[in-house]
Amino acid sequence: MDNAGPEVVKAVILAQFGSHADVLEPALSDARTAFPRAKIVLFSDRKTPAPPGVDEYRYVPPVKELGGRDHPRYGYRMNDYYKIEGLLTTDDGSRPGVAVALDVDMEIVYVSAFRTIGFLARRFGLVLPSNPRGTAARDTLIGADSDKKVDSPYYYGPAVNMTPIAFDWGNEQAERLLNAYLDEMLSRPVRGPLAMWRAICKTGFMPCLLPPQWCVCAENVGIGGEICLHVGHWKVRSFYGRPRSSKTGVGDRAPTV
């Protein structure tokens, strides 16, 4: 079997901007527990020293093409852009090597299962979660920061989510897709899932879609076998008894629901 345990994950990417730039939990601590040897890299727009627990701090200024600091979706767009930029630019030449990107409001509750993300990335090149809205068309029509353009039959393919994402540094097709995504974000910035779907259609490369247990959103609470909770959603916090904006701990078994 391919060497794809925790050791193959060489970097974990976090990206926080604007008024919430100092909020890094629970993902920071959980990522360190899941991948103790990985380098944790934080992208931020604050000129400060690296926060405790962060191995590499990368200051990045606002991106004009994404609308700038005054845009109402500034933090979201910068997050969606620099998670992917980080997956590509943290490559240290290690082979095998996988980078994982996480939103900071993701709580890993099934550590041994989450560690298999390296195996999946090595096998498929790129993995990212399915979106509970089902089709890309529905996500485009009802999602925030969308241009509402459903102008192709491809939009009735699967919608994707943007956390967690894992990329095998040696996979050229996945690299091409991620670069196409960055081009989409700069040329016609929209919500990350929509830009990713357009990049998938442009390149013809389809990543491995992770099932809902990897990104439990409001629509999937109580699904069973949970691996990662998106505790930024109020319904998720409420259902699993998580307080807002606090460290909730890491376990090695899915919660009993």
What is the pLDDT, as a whole number, of residue 19? 82
Helices 74-89 and 172-187: crossing angle in degrees, nearest 10, is 150
What is the pLDDT, as a whole number, of residue 20? 81
pTM for this structure? Answer: 0.92
Provide block-wise average pLDDT over 10 residues at a time, the chain (257 residues): 71 93 94 97 94 96 95 96 98 92 97 97 97 96 96 94 97 98 97 98 98 97 97 95 53 37
CA 100, CA 169: separation in Å to the nearest integer?
Answer: 11
Domain assignment of residue 202, yes or no: yes
CA 162, CA 103: separation in Å to the nearest integer?
Answer: 8
Measured between alpha carbons, how far apart are the two ends of the chain, in Å?
Answer: 34
Task: Tell me which residue range forms the domain holding 166.
Answer: 6-105+115-132+160-210
Kindly state the helix (H) or strand (E) to which residue 154 belongs, with its residue range: none
Spatial CA neighbour of 227 closest among 89, 84, 108, 99: 108
Domain assignment of residue 63, yes or no: yes
What is the pLDDT, as a whole number, of residue 244? 53
Domain assignment of residue 27, yes or no: yes
Domain assignment of residue 110, yes or no: no
CA 23, CA 21: separation in Å to the nearest integer?
Answer: 6
What is the pLDDT, as a whole number, of residue 94? 83
Domain assignment of residue 80, yes or no: yes
Q: Count the domains in the chain.
A: 1
Domain assignment of residue 254, yes or no: no
Contact 98, 37 (CB under 8 A): no
Domain assignment of residue 179, yes or no: yes
What is the pLDDT, as a whole number, of residue 3? 46
CA 80, CA 15: separation in Å to the nearest integer?
Answer: 8
* CATH for 42: 3.90.550.10
Helices 192-203 and 74-89: crossing angle in degrees, nearest 10, is 40
Domain assignment of residue 142, yes or no: no
